Structure 1
Amino acid sequence: MSETPIDQAHARMEAAPENDALRLSFFERLADGELFLLLESDAQGDVVDPRIFETGEGRYVLAFDREERLTAFAEGPAPFAAISGRALSGMLQDQNLGIGLNLGVAPSETLLPSGAVKWLWATLSQGPSNAE
């Protein structure tokens, strides 16, 4: 599978962790991209029930930037919802949940703790003229 824009932005960010512009670029790609959220069961209308994974660092939903990556992680077809990163951060920001992105299936695999999700939503909510 070829590299995705999220893979590329993640690689640049990891190569220069002190570079805030590259970190913001990664989060911009995440917010603007379509993500495939792993669900417990098929969505019922607009209601989704994300599969939640507990770790020593917190609770996470799993999202992937390609449907094929979700299928590879789940080892077969699995229920999912296609959602923008922006919408996902809004959905999770007050749920004390982080995002496990592309876990086990891509070079961009990463855990974004709930604090990072809250920060992303707060940054996106400020709008372009007020974001720093």
Structure 2
Amino acid sequence: LETLLGSGKMMVDRVVVEASAALRQHDLLTALTEVGGELILDTNVAELSSIGRFGGAARSAPWANPESVLTPDDLRPNANRDVIGQIARFAVRQGFHAVQAPAHVLEGSTDQLLALDCEATAALRRALDAEGGKHIG
């Protein structure tokens, strides 16, 4: 992809990058940024919170718990594992332009995790601002 991008054969405006792959793809992401591409971080929270998907590639996200799925307590503001803070610091340090909300796969508006997802998203906004990422959407 980096070769295609460098030769002008790959025109990209926006790329969603899974957290689990971001560090491995650093050179490509740098090249995309240099040509004006917008980088959006997929936090992999939905995958990391699901027993069926936790063991896959998402497991290498920087804030993954190597022992188990992410729990609602992991995503609360000021949680011991500070997943929200880790996401914010990573997004700022790696030069992302936007971050997808750290949300679960919800069954509907009555899902008990909806309130947590709203709280985690607001906490991520505050954490991004505190880490110098006010420009990150």
TM range (shorter): 0.3 to 0.5
- Structure ID, larger Rg: 2
| TM-score in terms of structure 1 length | 0.33
**Larger helix fraction of residues:** 2
